[in-house]
Amino acid sequence: EHAHCVAAMFGPMAPPNTGVVAIQNLGDDVRGWRISATGVVLELDASFRIVKKLKLVGQPAKVHRHTAFVSGMFNSQLEASKFEGASVRTVSGIRGTIKKAIKPGTIEGGRDGTFRATFEDKILVSDLVFLRAWVAVDLPHFYNPVTNLLAAQQSHSNRAPKKHKAKAAAAAAAAAEA
């Protein structure tokens, strides 16, 4: 229920170990409010990097001893060439390395994005080949300080006065004229 997590956010500078509270919605039309998250500042760093795990899957098109031609993992030869040298693994646990991207139509059953990989042991055509990669995620740089929503409500001068105050205001105006 109470899992710990790390969050990156933009805001005013605060020293480490300063308490942070996050409130989901504060507005004039909201009657109640609720605390969404609490925590502490761990560090101040404007150059952080957030990555997410990416798992790509491909199938062997042809297998020759320790070498296999894998297709279906990438969409183009350019994509496959960017991952040359990356380590791959099969479902059965056999490790391998991407050697070279293959031109489309070079091998039978190989489509665009097919590559040649070498493995520690012979793999089966029925094996699946996985590539684990980390992709950088861009965090939008947005900070909008809101300081007036926690302050006491101010009276609005453009509102019509309430009825009991209207009678008192009319009596005061009549007394001022006299």
Which segments of 18-161 does DSSP mark as H helices, in order?
A: 77-82
**pLDDT over 80 (residue 102):** yes
Q: What are phi and psi of 117, to 5 degrees?
A: -135, 145
Amino acid identity of 164?
H
pLDDT tens digits along 36-51: 888 999 888 888 888 9
Backbone Cα Rg of the chain:
32
pLDDT > 70: percent of the chain: 79
Instruction: With 0.85 as the threshold, say if the pTM is over it.
Output: no
Both tokens assigned to 102: 């293959």
- Measured from the Cβ of residue 22, the count of other Cβ atoms closer than 10 Å reads 11
Q: How is domain 50-137 classified at the CATH fold level?
A: Thrombin, subunit H (2.40.10)
pLDDT tens digits along 4-38: 788 888 888 889 999 988 887 766 676 777 888 88
**pLDDT over 80 (residue 138):** yes
Identify the CA nearest to 116 among candidates 96, 139, 140, 141: 96
Q: What are phi and psi of 176, to 5 degrees?
A: -70, -30
pLDDT confidence tier of residue 86, bands split at 50, 70 and 90: very high
